[in-house]
Amino acid sequence: MSNLIDGKIVSAAVKDRVKAEVAELKEKGISVGLAVILVGEDPASKIYVANKKKACEDLGIKSFEYVLPADTTQEQLLSLINTLNQEKNVNGILCQLPLPKGLDDQTVINAISAQKDVDAFHPANVGKIMIGDYDFVPCTPAGVMEMLKYYDISPEGKECVVIGRSNIVGKPMSMLLLHKNGTVTTCHSRTVDLKEVCLRADILVAAVGKAKFVTADMVKPGAVVIDVGMNRADGKLCGDVDFDTVKEKASYITPVPGGVGPMTIAMLMQNTLTAAKKQNGLI
Ligand code: GUN
């Protein structure tokens, strides 16, 4: 039976820290602001955006919300981003992905000023992460690293296996573990003998997008298991890990919900604070 890694506790600690710093900046006459753009009617995206707005309000960060119809043209969206790039009160810009058909995610990401790119999706920020000299870290992998740190779990010298190679999670996750001296393997749909690779892992991160994909026979006894998945199965939210069986083998495990999920918004708030500090010459 493993220890639970509680994302609610760790995210609350991050948010408390950010809230205190935002208040300090306010005393110096510096405000912190985040612009969130939502295009179209994707129900999951609407919930994410509402949660981001609420977190901003809780932490004293100004939130600027732009809800655009699904038939918004690329030119209209790029024009809004251009305006926000120049708006002084806006320190961070986030455009919720995926975008509706007809709009190109990467073109939109590229248009956001790298200094305001709190998702760390812009090629300049992706490159900085590769080098190991970065200000913004993508929120989900950053949240995972924060949880490991909180529970005093060091990747140094450990076998770290990441299942998934997306630009948003898998690739940056592998990079961050590598920067902490983990021995990192990135697996994907073409990996031969995935089970054998996973069985090597001291730290196993599942970012596949398939409900209960990681089963107990893929987990080394005593491994730390981090579940990035957010799937709907039988009307219930569930992760990429078969929690009930894997928890018997792992030393630490994140639940879904209440694991990585709450961390992502906390890390977004932290990136927004970092953006404001940088733009005001404080770091
Ligand atoms: N859609 C799902 N996750 C994310 C995220 O971290 N950032 C943005 N912009 N869109 C997302």
- CATH code at position 199: 3.40.50.720
Q: Are strands 92-95 and 183-187 parallel, antiparallel or unpaired?
A: unpaired
**Residue 112: what pLDDT?**
98
> Considering the domain boundaries, does residue 127 fall inside one?
no
* pLDDT tens per residue across span 19-34: 999 999 999 999 999 9
The answer to whether the CB of 96 falls within 8 A of the CB of 38 is: yes
Verify whether ligand 1 is closer than 6 Å to residue 146 (CB atom): no
Count of the separate structural domains present in the chain: 2
* pLDDT tens per residue across span 136-158: 999 999 999 999 999 999 999 99
* pLDDT tens per residue across span 178-209: 999 999 999 999 999 999 999 999 999 999 99
* pLDDT tens per residue across span 158-167: 999 999 999 9
Has 227 been annotated as catalytic? no
Has 247 been annotated as catalytic? no
- The residues that bridge with 64 in the sheet, in sequence order, are 35
Q: Are strands 236-238 and 231-233 parallel, antiparallel or unpaired?
A: antiparallel
- The domain in which residue 254 lies consists of 139-261
Domain shared by 99 and 158, yes or no: no
> Considering the domain boundaries, does residue 217 fall inside one?
yes
> Considering the domain boundaries, does residue 95 fall inside one?
yes
User: Would you give the DSSP letter of residue 235?
Assistant: T
> Considering the domain boundaries, does residue 9 fall inside one?
no
Q: Indicate which residue of 15, 52, 212, 220 is catalytic.
A: 52
- Residue where a domain stops, chosen among 113, 148, 178: 113
Say how many Å lie between the CA of residue 263 and the centre of ligand 1.
13
Verify whether ligand 1 is closer than 6 Å to residue 228 (CB atom): no
- CATH code at position 101: 3.40.50.10860
Alpha helices in the chain (DSSP H): 7-27, 43-59, 74-86, 105-111, 123-131, 139-150, 170-179, 194-199, 243-246, 260-279
Domain shared by 72 and 147, yes or no: no
Domain shared by 99 and 182, yes or no: no
> Considering the domain boundaries, does residue 119 fall inside one?
no
> Considering the domain boundaries, does residue 280 fall inside one?
no
Give, using CA atoms, the residue closest to atom 9 of ligand 1.
96
* pLDDT tens per residue across span 11-20: 999 999 999 9
> What's the Cα-to-Cα distance from 237 to each of 97, 168, 229, 254, rounded to whole Å?
20, 20, 9, 14
Q: Indicate which residue of 116, 117, 119, 270 is catalytic.
A: 119
Say how many Å lie between the CA of residue 174 and the centre of ligand 1.
18
pTM, to two decimals = 0.97
* 199 vs 218: CA distance, rounded Å: 5
Q: What are phi and psi of 173, to 5 degrees?
A: -60, -45
Average pLDDT, the chain: 97
Has 117 been annotated as catalytic? no
Domain shared by 81 and 44, yes or no: yes
Residues whose CB is less than 8 angstroms from the CB of residue 53 and which lie 6 or more positions away in sequence, other chains included: 36, 63, 65
Reduced to 3 states (helix: H, G, I; strand: E, B; else coil), residue 261 is helix
